[in-house]
Amino acid sequence: MFYTLILASSIASAETEVLVSSFEAKNTKAEQFAEELPKLILENLELEPDIAGLSLADAKPVHATPAQLYMDGCPPGEYEGCAAQIAQVNNIPFAIAGEVDALEEVMRVNIHIIDVNEGQSVADFPLDIAAGGEDAIIQTIVLTLKSAVKG
């Protein structure tokens, strides 16, 4: 009975891993935010007890190519597939990737949350961010990720 309680406790406290990939910048104005976005997501995931974020820097290589270099070589428009490949090599069930596009007055972030085991995206949505709205978008991404992980 004691072993059953230990096993149940370890299952209940298990974190679901999520690969937080880089985001594709659609134009030069979007490059800085696209670079910062994964870091912001990872920082916020550290506050979540049920989700463990994994950065590209901490991921295992894909075919002897470091994960970050693999993503850097990913063709435009293919970030979702490249992120899923890295997550699969690392036995991580979920990945998040996307694109950032600087429009006239807002940044548009297209988010893709991928269920790697199912081989499909479970959430695809655009978010428009006005200046100063970065915290709100990060919270929206993390909440959506939590919902996707829970099923």
pLDDT digits (tens, 9 = 90+) for 68-121: 999 999 998 888 999 999 999 999 999 999 999 999 999 999 999 999 999 899
pLDDT-derived band at 5, boundaries 50, 70, 90: very low
Which residue in this structure is represented by tokens 């100063």?
132
Q: Which of 20, 29, 60 is nearest to 141 (CA)?
A: 20
Query: What pTM value is reported for the model?
Result: 0.86
Query: What's the rounded Cα separation, in Å, for the pair 145 and 96?
Result: 8
Alpha helices in the chain (DSSP H): 2-12, 31-45, 67-72, 79-89, 134-150
pLDDT digits (tens, 9 = 90+) for 38-79: 999 999 999 999 999 999 999 999 999 999 999 999 998 888
